[in-house]
Amino acid sequence: MSAGAVADWPPLSPGERSVAIEVLVHGPLSRTELARRLALSPGSLTRLTKPLIESGLLVEADGPGAPAGARQGRPSQPLSVVADSRHFLGVKLTADTAYGVVTTLRSDVVARHDRPLATRDPEAVADLLADMARTLRRDHPRIAGLGIGVGGLVRDRAVVGESAFLGWRDVPLAALVERRAGLPVVVENDVAALVEAETWFGAGRGLDRFVVLTIGAGIGYGLVLGGRRVPFAEEDRGFGTHWVLDPSGPLGPDGRRGSAATLLTIPGIRRQVRAATGEDATYEEILARAGAGEPLAARVVGEAARGLGVLVAQIANFVLPRKILLAGEGVGLMDVAGDTVRETARAHRHPLAAPVDLETKVSDFHDWARGAAVLAIQVLVLGAART
């Protein structure tokens, strides 16, 4: 495949797009299996795959994951993508750091590169991101796109409408970075990006109903129905503050008692301990003390676990997901009080309800950055930003 083949992919028709996504996410796949999955006749599949092979998006494979490119047209020969044919840069922005990763076309991370934010000025941040891209392209010249995940409200996958972490309003981040980096840029809410990554390449792959729940600096929620993420207006508008789990629970800074934000977030848990002891303990220290049986820490962590169990049960009762993925920097709570979470969830569901398939994924900021890279992969494959 030539160095420019992937960049020159033509816009895909809906049928070609369906084939490309199925092979990218689930391949390598034989033509027989691909036709079965997409309910296509052999003739229709041949018509759809021919331009994809000619453009270099799909290749013949001699075996699982082993592209060959020769002997085209054999029905039993799997179709695959060349994962290293292009790379993608994903960045997760926090209040003080830009966390970057480079991934393959199948979202496998091949490099990491982080930079501190000396300032949150949008122009300076755009300069920094463009310099990160230039640095990483020296070792990965086939970087084809850049995805940026931001904790905040993002419009049209281009403009940061509001981000409390960065102190931004109406920042046209995609345009600012594109001009400097010379790459296609897509910007999205960080939780939405993580949900897309888990839907295409992670815990939600192949599931029609799937939920991602994140706990960390805040509470994040993402819903997938019919294999597609459901966008919603309240995305990252602090709905965890309004989601009351225990009306008699601890008081939050907003005057509400027992909200998800107060009970479950890392700042909320640390604030409760600080208010009781005057000590500014880290989240990890609090979890360790709770695990060792220290009464105060055990009480705070226990309340958090019961609150999380209620939240999981509420989601399961109303959404009926096939799986709930619990992710984020705060999932260490499950190591200390996972049994309490599960027991509480069971107690708040019908006795005959199927057990909640609750999967836990310890995530760091590079996982969030990988989610942003998947946005860039989607843009390249789909030909436009996915909404």
pLDDT by residue (tens digit) across 321-331? 999 999 999 99
CATH number at residue 229: 3.30.420.40
* Domain end residue (candidates: 84, 107, 127): 84
Domain count, the chain: 3
**Is the domain of 37 the same as that of 171?**
no
**Per-residue pLDDT tens over the stretch 319-371:** 999 999 999 999 999 999 999 999 999 999 999 998 889 999 988 899 999 99
The CA–CA distances, whole Å, from 373 to 71, 100, 119, 148, 188 equal 33, 9, 24, 7, 11
- Separation between Cα atoms, residue 188 and residue 151, nearest integer Å: 9
pLDDT-based confidence at residue 212 (cuts at 50, 70, 90): very high
Instruction: Note whether residue 58 is domain-resident.
Output: yes
Is residue 223 scored above 70 in pLDDT?
yes
The identity of residue 261, as a single letter, is A
Question: In whole angstroms, what is the distance from residue 127 CA to residue 185 CA?
Answer: 14
Of 84, 107, 142, at which residue does a domain stop? 84
> Given a cut of 80, is residue 65 above it in pLDDT?
no
The confidence score (pLDDT) of residue 21 equals 85
Per-residue pLDDT band at 70 (split at 50, 70, 90): very low
Name the percent of the chain in helix, strand, coil, to the closest 5. 45, 25, 35
Same domain for 76 and 90, yes or no, is no
- Average pLDDT (102-109) is 94
Pairing of strands 79-80, 168-171: unpaired
Q: How large is the average pLDDT for residues 175-199?
A: 94
Residues 91, 222 within the same domain: no
Do 251 and 290 lie in one domain? The reply is yes
CA distance 247 to 237: 21
User: What are 241-260's pLDDT values in tens digits?
Assistant: 678 888 888 888 877 888 99
**What was the pLDDT predicted at 272?**
94
* Percent of the chain at pLDDT exceeding 90: 61
Task: Assess whether 192 and 223 both reside in one domain.
Answer: no
Answer whether residue 234 shows pLDDT above 90.
no
| 3-class SS string, 60-119 | EEEECCEECCCCCCCCCCCEECCHHHCEEEEEEECCCEEEEEEECCCCCEEEEEEEECCC
What is the spatial distance between Cα 165 and Cα 151, in angstroms, rounded to a whole number? 7
Q: What is the pLDDT of residues 5-48, one digit of tens each?
A: 334 455 678 888 888 888 888 878 888 888 999 999 988 988 88
Q: Cα 244–246–247 angle (5° rounding)?
A: 80
Residue 277 CA: distances (Å) to CA of 258, 270, 289, 330: 20, 11, 13, 21
Tokens representing residue 115 in the block: 């930079």
- The C-alpha atoms of residue 226 and residue 352 are separated, in whole angstroms, by 25
**Mean pLDDT score, 157-166:** 92
Residue 8: inside a domain? no
Q: What does the mean pLDDT of the chain come to?
A: 87
Q: Based on the domain organization, do 372 and 250 belong to the same domain?
A: no
More confident residue, 2 or 82: 82
What is the structure's pLDDT at 9?
Answer: 53
pTM of structure: 0.85
Residue-level pLDDT at 364: 87
Looking at the structure, tell me whether residues 255 and 329 fall in a common domain: yes
52 contacts: CB under 8 Å, gap ≥ 6: 12, 16, 19, 20, 58
Q: What letter would DSSP give residue 259?
A: B
Reading the block at residue 187, the tokens are 């910007």
Structural contact between residues 113 and 88, judged by C-beta atoms closer than 8 angstroms? no
pLDDT of 258:
87
Which structural domain range is residue 175 located in? 86-196+367-382
What is the C-alpha separation between 269 and 23, in angstroms, rounded? Answer: 43
98 belongs to a structural domain: yes
Confidence of residue 239 (pLDDT cuts 50, 70, 90): low
Residue 128, CB half-sphere, CA atoms under 13 Å: how many?
23
CB atoms within 10 A of CB 13: 12
Residue 192 lies in a domain: yes
Residues 43-69, mean pLDDT to the nearest whole number: 73
Q: Are residues 79 and 91 in the same domain?
A: no
Whether residue 125 is predicted with pLDDT greater than 90 in this model: the reply is yes
Is residue 291 one of the residues assigned to a domain? yes
Q: Is residue 1 part of a domain?
A: no
Q: Report the CATH number that the domain containing residue 33 is assigned in CATH.
A: 1.10.10.10
Last residue of a domain, one of 34, 65, 84: 84
